[in-house]
Amino acid sequence: MIGEIQRVSSVSALHESAAAMFVFAAVQAVRARGAFTVALAGGTTPKGVYELLANDGALRSQVAWDKVHFFWGDERHVAPDHPESNFRMAREAMLDPLAIDRSHVWRIKGEYESAALAAEEYEHDLRTFFGLDAVQVPDLDLVLLGMGPDGHTASLFPGTDALREQRRLAVSNRVEKLNTDRITLTLPVLNNANEVLFLVHGADKADALKAVIEGPSRPDQLPAQLIRPRRRHLISCAGS
């Protein structure tokens, strides 16, 4: 992983830096193309960013929220009101407080019995929104990503089939160690984004982060090494 690396001293500083980057990317995209497309991440660290964007008046006022379209990098195989739903977290932290029009929210249908069907429908939504043919890939303005202690990002886990997918935009990915299926964007989509912003916080991720940045290339064991878009930013904060 190369690109801009910013280390901050506190999780609040991480939230502030990430929110400022979100606002800057949104302003630039709306100015250039009249719309801003972003793929959200789940987890406690992104939640703090979303809450800041929704509740800080100075930040909130800079974004033309009616021109923002929200997607997700991945989703758990759960209903949208489930406590573990990435959609639910983003809705409660940001979408509802900002009164985002539901036509601008492109969630993954994790409640479907078949995770594969949810992935197929999400891919169809992406192709419809971006006006893509069967081989084109969307160019999201910004993708937010986290990283797990095992080096996974989105729902691209070590040793899983999704790491080798090159044609699909979204897939159902079986994660045996969690005994579950996840729905995730694939590497061609993530790497075609204009910008990717990694948010990493926690002492339990320090070893994996060091290996991803400084270690040898081991993408099957450290999937975060496979993220290579046009511009990459990493904001990290040590500590629990």
pLDDT at 238: 60
pLDDT tens column, 124-163: 999 999 999 999 999 999 999 999 999 999 999 999 999 9
Counting DSSP H helices and E strands in the chain, the numbers are: 7, 9
CA distance 139 to 192: 6
Domain membership flag for residue 152: no
Residue 239 has pLDDT above 70, yes or no: no
pLDDT at 240: 47
Domain membership flag for residue 130: yes
CA 95-15-8 angle, to 5 degrees, is 165
Residue 100 has pLDDT above 50, yes or no: yes
Q: Percent of the chain beyond pLDDT 90?
A: 92
pLDDT at 232: 83
Residue 204 has pLDDT above 50, yes or no: yes
CA distance 23 to 19: 6
Domain range for 31 is: 4-143+158-213+229-237
Domain membership flag for residue 48: yes
Hey, which bits of the chain come out as E strands?
4-8, 36-40, 68-72, 74-76, 142-145, 170-175, 180-185, 195-201, 232-237
Residue 61 CA, distance from chain mean position: 23
Domain membership flag for residue 148: no
Global pTM exceeds 0.85: yes
Contact of 55 with 61, CB cutoff 8 Å? no
Q: How confident is the model at residue 2 (pLDDT cuts 50, 70, 90)?
A: low
C-alpha dihedral sign at 151, 80, 108, 159: positive
Domain membership flag for residue 219: no
- Provide the CATH number for the domain around residue 30: 3.40.50.1360
**The total number of structural domains that make up the chain:** 1
Domain membership flag for residue 150: no
Residue 1 has pLDDT above 70, yes or no: no
pLDDT at 105: 98
Domain membership flag for residue 171: yes
User: Phi, psi (5° rounding) for residue 205?
Assistant: -105, 0
CA distance 45 to 150: 17
Contact of 45 with 11, CB cutoff 8 Å? yes
Strand partners, 180: 175
Residue 8 has pLDDT above 80, yes or no: yes
At 40 the three-state DSSP class reads strand
pLDDT tens column, 23-74: 999 999 999 999 999 999 999 999 999 999 999 999 999 999 999 999 999 9
Q: Is 132 exposed, middle or buried (0-12, 13-18, 19+ CB in 10 A)?
A: middle
Domain membership flag for residue 104: yes
